[in-house]
A and B are shown apart, each in its own frame.
Chain A
């Protein structure tokens, strides 16, 4: 996109360009809402709807990653940790609730000493649980974030550190079988805040909650991306030190984005639990953490809806393709990763830029904010890099 073109298209005054585009966005949200709340429940069987609900939970993690990685340049390979924290907190509460007041969850009777450890106790309260689901991931992310970002650990260092965190977390969960259920994880929940989980009506309700939460998260990220904070985040990604000399603390900026991503992952994990009925270390370790990235990379990391659509598409492909060709799926997933990241670094959303031009006029579903010109939608690279590796006739 040439600067001149950008300038032309946006007509100069930032204040004015909103109207048309805001309409498009609202239209996009409306379409998404109708699809999620109207069409999907009407067309899909309980089983498929349950799957969609699960995908929504995974997509929540992706939305957060889109912010932290796509916008903030923090390649986090450890989102499974926050997903797991949210999930385990929820699962602990459900276990305690199933056990009744003062009761002991079944697995503790089997593998533990039959008493509920003290730090489980607060989770008997639904309120504490809901708060903890958000706050615990945020607290851990902030603590870790401050520790590493103020010391200017970033890029590959951060990626590898976060990956090690995921590995360590999974190992820790497995090792503390008496209180975490070990490899089995926590499962066999009967009710969700008093609602019977076996009842299809309640399952549909869970789906609606998940879909609504996902939409809300997308809206929040949209707000963040377009705010000054969003610009600052990109600035920090590209020139962390320069930002420092403008009087900002880059670590704080990064921590906020990272913590938001953690909170989203935590919420995703928390909803995942009643929907899927289990959370185990297999959902939080290195492999699932990288799995979260697949959708984000494929959808388009720096865009708003890319991560969501990517995550939904990949989950769906996994479920349906692996039904038909189990070992083929591994190849397919690998190949997808390779092809998209290597050859289409902007993800599928960058195809949208092309499509948009010959589809002008129609309502935009995968709305890419205008602040993100095509070049910025690409990898966090410096422009010269983007261009030289880009299209030269």
Chain B
């Protein structure tokens, strides 16, 4: 195609491959990065917190002298909770704003929508949320947990507790379905019986039938992959029919500190969660992080796993760039392996092969104060294994 210029930027492009690389402007004393989160729509609830954490990290890095001596200039975009908007905005950030890297995304669908953009423009995305695995793009760095760092440890914990009848309840979308597929395989190999598997449409608000089934199933534990609002309705119903933590504890993978208030502490006190970070984690890095966060956004705010992962992602990118001594995508990719960061959750290390990071799994218990306290932790950081290649029982899953 003919060379054309966009308002403000210069230089044309003829083929897509090197378009982004040549378009990033590193000549000045600042460099642009993009933050892409939903600030409107249904996902704004969650994604705004990620944006807050990203902003905090950018501020800290700039105060600390920037990256390779350049100040970060943040271009913020709203994904509006719609995959197509994510795709559109990603393309804008990469080819119109010419950012060096993009940070953001939450839902799997938003990531899947952005992936082709980053691959075809050869640009970088840092994705900060735990997800269903089965993916490894050279253009994406996944700083949240993959399944073997969250789901599998969650099941390990239940097994350790001697639970043998597990009921699965989840929202009807990709993550729960994939997670439950894994859990089913795990259960079969480990002598656990899956006594029910139920999905509710996103935003479902009436759980009487599902809880009836759950109660009738005789389950001694529940693995909960419900998303967002549905958790409130589920836990209220769960409590109302007389189920309790002692008899049938629930392990949730999508309830973080942020959500506890909305569900009502009285409804979920004592229930379990599986993550890699809690605000209560004891480490100097976390103390600094939590203090800085509260100082910036207010004492009543809490920090959570995705926020921490987003915060960490910006530092990891900084580490990679500084190791590569270049903002160039290929150089950063090459330098990625082994980059580490003293994150609030503990030391994390980038796996250069699959672009995930090694993390420690933590099972937490929700306390009366609405915070989550570590109940159990994996012995060490777990290497990311998005395709579960290191687990025999997972054969044939993907």
Contacts and interface: CB of A to CB of B under 8 A. Distances in A.
Asked if chains A and B come from one complex, the reply is yes
A278 B172 contact: no
B174 A282 contact: no
B112 A184 contact: yes
A278 B83 contact: yes
Contact of B88 (A45, A54, A110, A174): A54
Interface in A136-190: 171, 174-175, 177, 182-185, 187-189
A16 to B, nearest CB: 47
Contact of A200 (B1, B88, B108, B117): B1
Interface size class, chain B: 35 or more
Interface string A373-385: 0000000000000
Contact of A322 (B7, B80, B115): B80
Interface in B65-114: 77-78, 80-84, 87-88, 91-92, 95-96, 107-109, 112-113
Contacts of B178: 110-111
Interface in A4-51: 44-48, 50-51
A174 B201 contact: yes
Interface in B1-19: 1, 4-7, 13-16
A203 B1 CA distance: 9
B1 A201 contact: yes
A117 interface: no
B165 interface: no
A199 interface: yes
B17 to A, nearest CB: 8
Interface string B337-365: 00000000000000000000000000000
B116 interface: yes
A366 interface: no
Contacts, number: 128
A336 interface: no
A278 B349 CA distance: 33
B177 interface: yes
A189 B116 contact: yes
Given A47-B95, A183-B108, A200-B16, A188 B6 contact: no
Nearest to A174: B172
A185 B109 contact: yes
Given A47-B95, A188-B116, A278-B112, A177 B177 contact: yes
Interface in A44-73: 44-48, 50-51, 54
Nearest to A276: B84
A175 B201 contact: yes
A47 B98 CA distance: 12
Nearest to B120: A198
Contacts of B91: 47, 50
A327 interface: yes
B134 interface: yes
B241 interface: no
By Cβ-Cβ distance, the 6 closest A-B pairs, closest first, are A326-B78, A45-B6, A183-B173, A326-B39, A200-B1, A198-B120
7 contacts: A46-B4, A184-B109, A188-B112, A277-B87, A278-B112, A282-B82, A323-B77
Interface of A: 44-48, 50-51, 54, 109-111, 171, 174-175, 177, 182-185, 187-189, 197-201, 203-204, 276-278, 280, 282-283, 319, 322-323, 326-327, 329-330
